[in-house]
Structure 1
Amino acid sequence: MKETAIVYCENKFGTMDGKTANGLVRSSRKFEIVGVIDSTKVGMDSGDYLLGEKNGIPIFENLNHALEHLPSVPNQFIYGIAPSEAFLKEDERNLLFKVMEHGMNIVNPLHEFFTDDEEFIKLSKQFNITIDDIRKPAQKKDMHLFSGRILNIDTPIVAVLGTDSAIGKRTTSVLLEDALLERGLNVAFIATGQTGLIQGAKYGVAIDAIPSQFMTGEIENQIMKAYETDKPDIIIVEGQGALSHPAYISSCGIIRGSRPGAVIIQHAPKREHLGDFSYMKVPTVKSEIDLIENFSQSKVIAVTINHENMSDEELANTILEYEDDLKLPTTDALKFGCDKLITSIFDTYPNLKSKQKKVLFN
Structure 2
Amino acid sequence: MSTIPFTPPKARPYSPQGPPADIVVLPVARQATLPAARPVPVFPSSPLAAHIVDDVAPAGSTSTAIVYCEANFGAIDGKTANGLIRHSEKYEVLSVIDSEKAGQDTGMVLDGIPNGIPLCSSLADALRQAGDTPDQFIFGMAPASGMMSPHERSIVLEAMTQGMNIVNGLHEFLNDDAEFVAAGIASNVTIQDVRKPRDKKDLRMFSGRINDVTCPRIAVLGTDCAIGKRTTATILTRALNDAGLKAVLIGTGQTGLMQGARYGIALDAVPSQFCAGELEAIILEAYEAERPDVIIIEGQGALSHPAFSTTSFILRGSCPQAVVLQHAPGRAARCDFEKMRMPEAATEINLIQTFSKTKVIGLTINHENMSDTDVDAAIGNYSRELGIPVTDALTRSPSDLLEMVAVAFPGLRVKSGTGQL
> Considering the TM-score relative to the shorter chain, is it more than 0.5?
yes
Alignment pair present for 1:55 and 2:87:
no
Task: Tell me how far apart the structure 1 counterparts of residues 417 and 181 of structure 2 sit (CA, whole Å).
Answer: 49
Q: Would the aligned equivalents of 1:134 and 1:194 in 2 still touch at CA under 8 Å?
A: yes
Residue 342 of structure 1 deviates from its aligned partner by 1.2
Q: Partner of 2:285 in structure 1?
A: 225
Task: Tell me how far apart the structure 2 counterparts of residues 55 and 68 of structure 1 sit (CA, whole Å).
Answer: 19
Identify which of 275, 285, 299 aligns with 2:335: 275
TM-score (norm 1): 0.98
Question: Which 4+ stretches in 1 moved above 3 angstroms?
Answer: none
TM-score (norm 2): 0.84
SS at match of 1:333: coil
Q: Partner of 1:43 in structure 2?
A: 103
Task: Tell me how far apart the structure 1 counterparts of residues 244 and 165 of structure 2 sit (CA, whole Å).
Answer: 36
Q: Partner of 1:235 in structure 2?
A: 295
Q: Partner of 2:257 in structure 1?
A: 197
Identity, % of aligned positions: 51
Task: Tell me how far apart the structure 1 counterparts of residues 305 and 172 of structure 2 sit (CA, whole Å).
Answer: 23
Q: Would the aligned equivalents of 1:114 and 1:131 in 2 still touch at CA under 8 Å?
A: yes
Task: Tell me how far apart the structure 2 counterparts of residues 328 and 123 of structure 1 sit (CA, whole Å).
Answer: 54
Task: Tell me how far apart the structure 1 counterparts of residues 261 and 288 of structure 2 sit (CA, whole Å).
Answer: 16
Residue 93 of structure 1 deviates from its aligned partner by 0.7
Residue 249 of structure 1 deviates from its aligned partner by 0.2
Alignment pair present for 1:349 and 2:409:
yes
Q: Partner of 2:374 in structure 1?
A: 314
Task: Tell me how far apart the structure 2 counterparts of residues 34 and 152 of structure 1 sit (CA, whole Å).
Answer: 42
SS at match of 1:145: coil
Alignment pair present for 1:84 and 2:148:
no
Residue identity opposite 1:85 in structure 2: S
Q: Partner of 1:336 in structure 2?
A: 396
Alignment pair present for 1:7 and 2:67:
yes
Structure 1 residue runs without a partner (length 5+)? none
Deviation per residue, 1:132-185 (Å, 9 max, x gap): 000001111111100111112211000000000000000000000110110111
Identify which of 157, 160, 170 aligns with 2:230: 170
Task: Tell me how far apart the structure 1 counterparts of residues 259 and 276 of structure 2 sit (CA, whole Å).
Answer: 23
Residue identity opposite 1:119 in structure 2: E
Residue identity opposite 2:78 in structure 1: G
Residue identity opposite 1:327 in structure 2: G
Residue identity opposite 2:409 in structure 1: Y
Alignment pair present for 1:161 and 2:234:
no
Q: Partner of 1:137 in structure 2?
A: 197
Residue 357 of structure 1 deviates from its aligned partner by 2.5
SS at match of 2:395: helix
Residue identity opposite 1:332 in structure 2: D
Q: Partner of 1:324 in structure 2?
A: 384
Residue identity opposite 1:54 in structure 2: P
Return the structure number with greater helix share.
1
Task: Tell me how far apart the structure 1 counterparts of residues 320 and 201 of structure 2 sit (CA, whole Å).
Answer: 27
Q: Partner of 2:93 in structure 1?
A: 33
Alignment pair present for 1:287 and 2:347:
yes
Residue identity opposite 1:64 in structure 2: A
Q: Would the aligned equivalents of 1:175 and 1:337 in 2 still touch at CA under 8 Å?
A: no
Residue 337 of structure 1 deviates from its aligned partner by 2.9
Task: Tell me how far apart the structure 1 counterparts of residues 317 and 402 of structure 2 sit (CA, whole Å).
Answer: 24
Q: Would the aligned equivalents of 1:261 and 1:297 in 2 still touch at CA under 8 Å?
A: yes
Residue identity opposite 1:157 in structure 2: R
Task: Tell me how far apart the structure 2 counterparts of residues 184 and 113 of structure 1 sit (CA, whole Å).
Answer: 40
Residue identity opposite 2:64 in structure 1: T
Q: Partner of 1:261 in structure 2?
A: 321
Q: Partner of 1:107 in structure 2?
A: 167
Task: Tell me how far apart the structure 2 counterparts of residues 43 and 357 of structure 1 sit (CA, whole Å).
Answer: 45
Q: Partner of 1:179 in structure 2?
A: 239
Q: Would the aligned equivalents of 1:180 and 1:342 in 2 still touch at CA under 8 Å?
A: yes
Task: Tell me how far apart the structure 1 counterparts of residues 302 and 160 of structure 2 sit (CA, whole Å).
Answer: 37
Q: Would the aligned equivalents of 1:124 and 1:130 in 2 still touch at CA under 8 Å?
A: yes
Q: CA RMSD, aligned part only?
A: 1.0
Residue 252 of structure 1 deviates from its aligned partner by 0.2
Task: Tell me how far apart the structure 2 counterparts of residues 154 and 30 of structure 1 sit (CA, whole Å).
Answer: 29
Q: Partner of 2:125 in structure 1?
A: 65
Q: Partner of 2:35 in structure 1?
A: none
Task: Tell me how far apart the structure 1 counterparts of residues 251 and 349 of structure 2 sit (CA, whole Å).
Answer: 22
Residue identity opposite 1:354 in structure 2: V
Residue 126 of structure 1 deviates from its aligned partner by 1.3
Residue 359 of structure 1 deviates from its aligned partner by 8.2
Residue 71 of structure 1 deviates from its aligned partner by 2.2
**Which structure has the higher relative contact order (CA within 8 Å, separation 6+)?**
2
Deviation per residue, 1:286-334 (Å, 9 max, x gap): 0000000000011000000000010111110110000111111000000
Moved more, 150-159 or 280-289: 150-159
Residue identity opposite 1:6 in structure 2: I
Q: Would the aligned equivalents of 1:11 and 1:39 in 2 still touch at CA under 8 Å?
A: yes
SS at match of 1:236: strand
Residue 343 of structure 1 deviates from its aligned partner by 1.2
Matched residues, number: 360
Task: Tell me how far apart the structure 2 counterparts of residues 248 and 52 of structure 1 sit (CA, whole Å).
Answer: 32
Structure 2 residue runs without a partner (length 5+)? 1-60
